[in-house]
Chains A and B, each alone.
Chain A
Amino acid sequence: MGRPGFVLEVDRSTPPTLFFHGEGFRLEPLPVGSRVVYPAEPLEPIEDPDDAIRHALLHPLGDREPLPALLFPGMKLTIAFDDISLPLPPMRAPDVRQRVIEAVLDLAAEAAVDDVVLIAALALHRRMHDHELRHALGARVFDAFEPNGLLLQHDAEDPANLVHLGHTDQGEDVEINRRAAESDLLVYVNINLVAMDGGHKSVATGLASYRSLRHHHNVQTMQHSRSFMDQERSELHSSNWRMGRLIAASGVKVFQIETTLNNDTFPKPFAFLQKREWEWSARDRASYFAAAKALDRTPPRIARSLFQTQRAPYGITGVHAGEVEAVHAATTANVYRQQLVPVEGQTDVLTMGLPYICPYNVNSIMNPILVMCLGLGYFFNLYRGKPLVRQGGVLIMSHPTPWEFHPVHHPSYIDFFEQVLSETTDPVEIEAKFEEDFATDPWYVHLYRTSHAYHGVHPFYMWYWGAHALQHLGGVIVVGGDPKAVRRLGFKPASSLRDALEMAEDVVGRDPSITHIHNPPILLADVT
């Protein structure tokens, strides 16, 4: 049994603290009296995942029959699954999606179901490359479906393959993938990495169109989701739930399969990243210095591919199947079991080291907009109760923030960075003035549909993701970032943590309280 997460108060004997810094890391001494929030150690994984999956399919939660009872000859079965954005980093093969889908297909074969289609639930994300699909689904499934045109990627811009199911009581359009909606059964296979994932969001977001998504992927919703990791206080969650219930009421039968992973994030060579610094052995210290030194000398492009090939040795901690809401309640409890760390009181200054990866740069480049989204969108929102940092406080994040974009994956990001952010960084103004133009730009639509590009509107969503933090914070400082790129984001560059802490004092006053969120592995601060 792993030890729970906890809060360390830094004293004179505390060794320097690890900060992730893109494709690298730093050891930074924090001032005495600072707090460091550590994640829990990995939960014990399920010993026999395949057995757990089969058990979940045969013993569903909520008002759902066991999966075999829902399968019959001549039926139309669609299996949708989470895309490349989960989990982070990608997991060591076999991916849990492969295990679950193989189990579902075995049952479908036993029931003589032969109209089966797989759909990657992309929403407005980029289409996955074949090697990524092969990794997520396994060679057997990929080779059986892809060559026959039965492995699809959701296309949110294909009117012929979308169906409008109606409006919620709040007037939100609900428009999802036609094949999924018109199937006799839609099985959704999820990986629930954080509390925001899964539930009705799987179908209502993953298989939706822009027309539908814009009702909750907007500034208003993000500013009223405090945080979006806290289902009770998340407008993002509420909107998806309204949509999900309408989808169910429209007769779409969803069999939800949710899986949870422990936080065993780093493979052997980087195992020291999983440990608390004062518990590092001589070998861990040697590994750190060797890795840090080697990475310092490695050209960024090579360092990037080195990290992007890392596969996490996650263990599966739960599989639940059945009716969406009942399943998600069990899943969320499991996520909290791994990630919740109680923290007392807020801080003046919150520090964080941003790693090389976020949901939108798998096998790609962490561009400056994604740096903003990871820091102010994801890490800032990893709280329940109240933000770790007080209103008007300062966020210090460490990342190289290169002015660099993946031209195939992120074309609209480049324009957003060059054209939109050079004019304003205010999410409200950005949404009003630029969103529709980008969302309907035929070039972006073309690239989203036929290449491997995120949708034209996607950089806007990244910016909105940080809207709550932008509203809440008194300042954002990036340590070690490209100063020009950092300024374009509207933030302040600092060359060292010490400089950044001095700069923060201009905003929050002298001798501020400082808290460092030691993430990844992912933790969720339960702030009272």
Chain B
Amino acid sequence: MKALVFERSLPRLAAARVAWKAGPLAFTRDAEEPPLPGPDWHRVRPRLAGICGSDLATVEGRSSRWFEPIVSFPFVPGHEIVGDLDDGTRVVVEPVLACAARGIDPPCEACSEGATDRCERLAFGHLQPGLQTGFCTDTGGGWSTALVAHESQLHRVPDGMSDEAAVMVEPAACAIHAAVAPGVTGDTVAVIGAGTLGLCTIAALRTHALPGRLIAAAKHPEQRRLARELGADTVVEPAELRRAVRRATGSMALDTGLTGGADVVVDCVGSEATITEALAVVRPAGTIVLVGMPGRVNLDLTPLWQRQVMLVGAYAYGTEVDIGRRTFDLAFDLVQEAGLERLVSAVYPLERFREAIDHATAAGRRGAVKVAFDLRQERERNR
């Protein structure tokens, strides 16, 4: 089969930090299709597979070493997947490889509550370690013509839903999980970043958190336009965020930040600069939700301590207990209601992966949001 394969190679990982093209990602036409690990497993032939910020961090050698014990090499990246089963059923893959997929019974406490995002067995069971499909050597990933997925990971795509809409379900689920996280309530919510996750988060907040005022900081003109369309009340450039939050909340300002601020700040970038900015614009006893994958950052946490701010992570999806539904089910609804398929800006065949990744890396600057691989015309999948 065709696949993009990520090998473990320390020199190549180091090289990727300088130029990702010299890194450990390679295209092959001769990869072995992963065997089915058990009876409840299915072969999935991807139709579209998105390129996510965490994929780019991996490809560019920027990922945290935290992941080392919970990934296995070599692996095929790609966890935003819409594809076909052998019987022609169109499915979206929920990529977290939790207890059920790993054959662990009884499941861990989190999985038993449906909170697969907090699974404690990501490195155990009959599969190689891997927090998600796309990071596990046994399952394969979306950037190929075939992968395997457990029954518990599959969500049937409604007939009227386009592939472009379906490929947005996974990022939309991440956004919903953040929007319904504990502490995400209040009159003023600020969202930092307006890439795929930021824009989906704006839509999710508008649907689930219902803030009185939603302020978004977006770097590029097209992102600002989309942020407005998806429900942000005020959209500003990143350098303007502090002033916009101050105005909206009637706060005073000090050199280091605001004296008051937003009730909730959702950071969809996760860089040192954006977390610092989040700490500067959140109100005392407010909440910062980290949706963007942060990696290693150097931060002054004094404001977090002095202003008693709650900093919470929002990773993946599972079951939203307060709503009583699977996050992916909510995501299907959100994608359709908010028209999130409009965020798919460009698709590439697998062979043009270098262009695709360059495009995804510069998406905002080039007026794009989601870039995906299009495998619908691949000969291998139609055999």
Nearest Cβ on chain A to B138's Cβ, whole angstroms: 51
Cβ–Cβ contact A419 & B244, under 8 A: yes
Cβ–Cβ contact A443 & B250, under 8 A: yes
Cβ–Cβ contact A418 & B243, under 8 A: yes
Residues in A whose Cβ lies below 8 Å from that of B243: 414-415, 418-419
Across the two chains, which residue of chain A brings its CB closest to B224?
A422
Cβ–Cβ contact A443 & B236, under 8 A: no
Nearest Cβ on chain B to A1's Cβ, whole angstroms: 53
Cβ–Cβ contact A418 & B246, under 8 A: no
Residues in B whose Cβ lies below 8 Å from that of A441: 247, 250
> In the bound complex, what is the Cα–Cα distance between A446 and B237 (angstroms)?
26
Cβ–Cβ contact A419 & B236, under 8 A: yes
Q: With an 8 A cutoff between CB atoms, is A166 at the interface?
A: no
Across the two chains, which residue of chain A brings its CB closest to B258?
A443
Q: With an 8 A cutoff between CB atoms, is B252 at the interface?
A: yes
Cβ–Cβ contact A442 & B252, under 8 A: yes
Residues in B whose Cβ lies below 8 Å from that of A443: 246, 250-253
Interface residue total, chain A, C-beta cutoff 8 A = 10
> In the bound complex, what is the Cα–Cα distance between A414 and B236 (angstroms)?
12
Which residues A385-425 have CB closer than 8 A to chain B?
A: 414-415, 418-419, 422
Across the two chains, which residue of chain A brings its CB closest to B246?
A443
Cβ–Cβ contact B234 & A446, under 8 A: no
Cβ–Cβ contact B252 & A419, under 8 A: no
> In the bound complex, what is the Cα–Cα distance between A158 and B101 (angstroms)?
69
> In the bound complex, what is the Cα–Cα distance between A123 and B237 (angstroms)?
33
> In the bound complex, what is the Cα–Cα distance between A443 and B243 (angstroms)?
11
Residues in B whose Cβ lies below 8 Å from that of A414: 243
> In the bound complex, what is the Cα–Cα distance between A442 and B252 (angstroms)?
7
Across the two chains, which residue of chain B brings its CB closest to A446?
B252
Q: With an 8 A cutoff between CB atoms, is B240 at the interface?
A: yes
Residues in B whose Cβ lies below 8 Å from that of A446: 252
Cβ–Cβ contact B253 & A419, under 8 A: no
Nearest Cβ on chain B to A485's Cβ, whole angstroms: 13
Residues in A whose Cβ lies below 8 Å from that of B244: 415, 418-419
Nearest Cβ on chain A to B318's Cβ, whole angstroms: 38
Residues in A whose Cβ lies below 8 Å from that of B240: 418-419
Cβ–Cβ contact B250 & A418, under 8 A: no
Which residues B224-247 have CB closer than 8 A to chain A?
A: 234, 236-237, 240, 243-244, 246-247
B: contact size bracket = 10 to 19
Cβ–Cβ contact A415 & B247, under 8 A: yes
Nearest Cβ on chain A to B216's Cβ, whole angstroms: 13
Across the two chains, which residue of chain A brings its CB closest to B247?
A415
Nearest Cβ on chain B to A420's Cβ, whole angstroms: 10
> In the bound complex, what is the Cα–Cα distance between A418 and B248 (angstroms)?
13
Which residues B295-337 have CB closer than 8 A to chain A?
A: none
Residues in B whose Cβ lies below 8 Å from that of A422: 236
Nearest Cβ on chain B to A455's Cβ, whole angstroms: 15
> In the bound complex, what is the Cα–Cα distance between A419 and B251 (angstroms)?
16
Nearest Cβ on chain A to B231's Cβ, whole angstroms: 16
Nearest Cβ on chain B to A411's Cβ, whole angstroms: 8
Residues in B whose Cβ lies below 8 Å from that of A415: 243-244, 247
> In the bound complex, what is the Cα–Cα distance between A270 and B181 (angstroms)?
65
Across the two chains, which residue of chain B brings its CB closest to A412?
B247
Nearest Cβ on chain A to B280's Cβ, whole angstroms: 15
Task: Indicate with 1 or 0, residue by residue over B242-269, a CB within 8 angstroms of chain A CB atoms.
Answer: 0110110011110000000000000000
Which residues A256-300 have CB closer than 8 A to chain B?
A: none
> In the bound complex, what is the Cα–Cα distance between A414 and B247 (angstroms)?
11
Nearest Cβ on chain B to A242's Cβ, whole angstroms: 34
Cross-chain contact of A418 among B236, B252, B253 (Cβ < 8 A): B236
Nearest Cβ on chain A to B194's Cβ, whole angstroms: 15
> In the bound complex, what is the Cα–Cα distance between A419 and B244 (angstroms)?
7
Residues in A whose Cβ lies below 8 Å from that of B234: 419
Nearest Cβ on chain B to A440's Cβ, whole angstroms: 9
Residues in A whose Cβ lies below 8 Å from that of B251: 443
Residues in A whose Cβ lies below 8 Å from that of B237: 418
Across the two chains, which residue of chain A brings its CB closest to B235?
A422
Nearest Cβ on chain B to A299's Cβ, whole angstroms: 22
Nearest Cβ on chain A to B190's Cβ, whole angstroms: 14
Task: Indicate with 1 or 0, residue by residue over B119-157, a CB within 8 angstroms of chain A CB atoms.
Answer: 000000000000000000000000000000000000000
> In the bound complex, what is the Cα–Cα distance between A441 and B251 (angstroms)?
9
Nearest Cβ on chain B to A321's Cβ, whole angstroms: 44
Cβ–Cβ contact A419 & B247, under 8 A: yes
Across the two chains, which residue of chain B brings its CB closest to A416?
B247
> In the bound complex, what is the Cα–Cα distance between A415 and B240 (angstroms)?
8
Nearest Cβ on chain A to B10's Cβ, whole angstroms: 45
> In the bound complex, what is the Cα–Cα distance between A441 and B247 (angstroms)?
8
Nearest Cβ on chain A to B237's Cβ, whole angstroms: 8
> In the bound complex, what is the Cα–Cα distance between A446 and B246 (angstroms)?
14
Residues in B whose Cβ lies below 8 Å from that of A442: 250, 252
Nearest Cβ on chain A to B371's Cβ, whole angstroms: 27
Across the two chains, which residue of chain A brings its CB closest to B237?
A418
Across the two chains, which residue of chain B brings its CB closest to A414?
B243
Nearest Cβ on chain B to A302's Cβ, whole angstroms: 25
Residues in B whose Cβ lies below 8 Å from that of A419: 234, 236, 240, 243-244, 247
Nearest Cβ on chain A to B262's Cβ, whole angstroms: 15
Task: Indicate with 1 or 0, residue by residue over A25-45, a CB within 8 angstroms of chain B CB atoms.
Answer: 000000000000000000000
Task: Indicate with 1 or 0, residue by residue over A324-368, a CB within 8 angstroms of chain B CB atoms.
Answer: 000000000000000000000000000000000000000000000
| Seed contacts A419-B236, A419-B243; 14 additional CB < 8 Å A-B pairs | A414-B243, A415-B244, A415-B247, A418-B240, A418-B244, A419-B234, A419-B240, A419-B244, A419-B247, A441-B250, A442-B250, A442-B252, A443-B251, A443-B253
In the complex, the 3 A-B pairs of residues with the closest C-beta atoms, listed nearest first = A418-B240, A443-B252, A415-B243
**Chain B residues within CB distance 8 Å of chain A:** 234, 236-237, 240, 243-244, 246-247, 250-253
Provide a sorted-by-A list of 27 A–B residue pairs whose CB atoms are within 8 angstroms: A414-B243, A415-B243, A415-B244, A415-B247, A418-B236, A418-B237, A418-B240, A418-B243, A418-B244, A419-B234, A419-B236, A419-B240, A419-B243, A419-B244, A419-B247, A422-B236, A437-B247, A441-B247, A441-B250, A442-B250, A442-B252, A443-B246, A443-B250, A443-B251, A443-B252, A443-B253, A446-B252
